[in-house]
A and B are shown apart, each in its own frame.
Chain A
Amino acid sequence: MSFLVSLLASEEGHLTYETHSWLLPETAEIIYGGLASVIVFAALGKFALPMFKKSLTARTERIQKEMDDAQAVRDTAEGEASRIRTALGDIQSERAKILAEADAQAAAVLSDGRARITAEAADLEAKADADIAAAAGRVNDELKSEIARLSSVAAERVVKAALNDAAQQDLIEGFINTVGAAR
């Protein structure tokens, strides 16, 4: 309105108006403006405020819900993390147990192997000793047998050579003279 007044005033030589104030409106304007403002605010309070409150409540609920969901997800994640940590701990424990068992089995296998090798070596040594002793005994027996054979052959030859007629008769007479006491 002030703009329109200023525009009209700039037209030189035409019509001149005087206003109450360049800043303050007219009373009627204040009244009508005030009423209009009241009506607008009343309408806003009547219709817009509940919708705003409802929207705000819904947003609050949505945010709360999102926060709850986030909390739930976090709880779930923390639970999962706890379970994973527990599982990881179990895995570490299982790993340590398996490694310990493997170490124990390896030590047992090594010990058994050493014991078996030691026993086998002892057996082989004993068998070799027995074989050597048997071979030595066999050679000794063969030698003794050969010596005995040669000795008996030699003895028989000597005896036969010594058995002349007189010796034969002596043996026969000796038998005759002693056989009577053989009963």
Chain B
Amino acid sequence: MSDATTNAYAKALADIAEAEGVLARVDAEFTAVAAAYESNDQLRSTIGDQAIPVERRQGIVEQLLAGKGAHPLTAQLLGMVIGAGRGRDLSAIASAIGNRNASSQGRAVAEVRSAVALSEDQQRRLGEQLAKAVGTEVNVKVIVDPSVVGGLVATVGDKVIDGSVRTKLDRVKARLS
């Protein structure tokens, strides 16, 4: 899907969530679902498979949110995205909603990739340090990505701060070759 279409979907969803006064919560829940979508191959292939009936794919997402106190609007918006056949663009839509939420708060979004999950305290301290690094307050969104191997990669706008073991291994490999 093109960026324009993704942004259009994200804007529509964010407008609804903002109108309901739950943009931050919807953003956080969309981010969590998107992270699960990215880290789980089976979930990704199921939600993105157009051959599977829409009702079944929506049911899977509802099961994913069940018992976690998700806002009903989040489930409805996710069902709408999957029903429109945009399951494959879930991560991009979640990212755009996150940007919208951050900009509405006068903050930036810091996308942080890590091989392991970060605690709440680590996310808070990381947000404070990233704010010092980029000069503006940030909303930290952690994506668990095993390809990072170790350490963190933080992306705030165009700025990338790479402290990952993957990049260090790639540098060693480049130096050897």
Q: Which residues of A are interface residues toward B (Cβ below 8 A)?
A: 144-145, 147-149, 151-152, 155-156, 159-160, 163, 165, 167-168, 171-183
The total of Cβ contacts below 8 Å across the A-B interface reads 81
Q: Do the beta carbons of A183 and B135 come within 8 Å of each other?
A: yes
Q: A182, B176: Cβ atoms under 8 Å?
A: no
Q: Is the CB of A176 within 8 A of B176?
A: no
Interface string of B58-101 (1 = CB under 8 A from A): 00000000000000000000000000000000000000000000
Interface-located stretch among B33-41, B43-51, B122-130:
B122-130
Q: Which 10 A-B pairs have the closest CB atoms?
A: A148-B176, A152-B173, A180-B129, A148-B177, A180-B132, A175-B163, A171-B151, A175-B152, A182-B133, A179-B129
Given contacts A160-B149, A171-B150, contact A183 B132 (CB under 8 A): yes
- Flag if A179 contacts B115 (CB, 8 Å): no
Among A155, A167, A177, A183, point to the contact of B150 (Cβ < 8 A).
Answer: A167
Report the Cα distance A156→B151, complex, angstroms: 14
Given A168-B115, A176-B122, A179-B161, verify A148-B133 contact (CB < 8 Å).
Answer: no
Fill in one digit per residue for B155-171: 1 if any A CB lies within 8 Å of its CB, else 0. Answer: 00000010101000100
How far apart sit A4 and B118, CA to CA, in the bound complex (Å)? Answer: 196
Most chain B CB within 10 A, of A156, A163, A175, is at A175
B114 within 8 A of A: yes
* Complexed CA–CA distance, A181 and B129 (Å): 8
12 CB contacts below 8 A, A to B, read A152-B172, A159-B165, A168-B150, A171-B150, A171-B152, A172-B116, A172-B118, A174-B151, A176-B152, A179-B126, A180-B132, A181-B133
Q: Which residue of B lies closest to A144 (CB)?
A: B177
Query: Complex: how many Å from CA A175 to CA B115?
Result: 13
Chain B: interface residue total (CB-CB under 8 A): 27
Q: How far is the CB of A85 from chain B (nearest CB, A)?
A: 90
Asked if B134 is an interface residue, CB under 8 A from chain A, the answer is: yes
Chain A residues within an 8 Å CB radius of B150: 159, 163, 167-168, 171
Instruction: For residue B10, give the distance in angstroms from its CB to the closest CB of chain A.
Output: 28
Q: Does B154 contact A (CB under 8 A)?
A: yes
B170 to chain A, nearest CB (A): 8
Known A-B contacts A165-B116, A172-B114; the reply to A183 vs B169 at CB < 8 A is: no
Are A152 and B132 within 8 A (Cβ)? Answer: no
> Separation in Å of the A178 CB from the closest CB of chain B?
8
Which residues of chain A are within 8 angstroms of B154 by Cβ–Cβ distance?
Answer: 175, 179
Report how far A155 CA is from B166 CA in the complex, Å.
11
Tell me, in angstroms, the Cα distance from A144 to B177 when the chains sit together.
Answer: 6
Chain B window 106-124, contacts with chain A (Cβ cutoff 8 Å), 1 for yes, 0 for no: 0000000011101000100
Question: Contact between A172 and B133 (Cβ–Cβ < 8 Å)?
Answer: no
Are B161 and A152 in contact, CB atoms less than 8 angstroms apart? no
- Distance (whole angstroms) from the CB of A97 to the closest CB of chain B: 72
Cross-interface CB contact of A155 among B118, B133, B172, cutoff 8 Å: B172
Chain A residues contacting B118 (CB-CB under 8 Å) are 172
Q: Say whether A145 contacts B177, CB under 8 Å.
A: yes
In the complex, A147→B151 CA distance in Å? 27
Bound complex: CA A176 to CA B161 (Å):
11
Task: Determine if A159 and B129 form an interchain contact, defined as CB atoms under 8 angstroms apart.
Answer: no
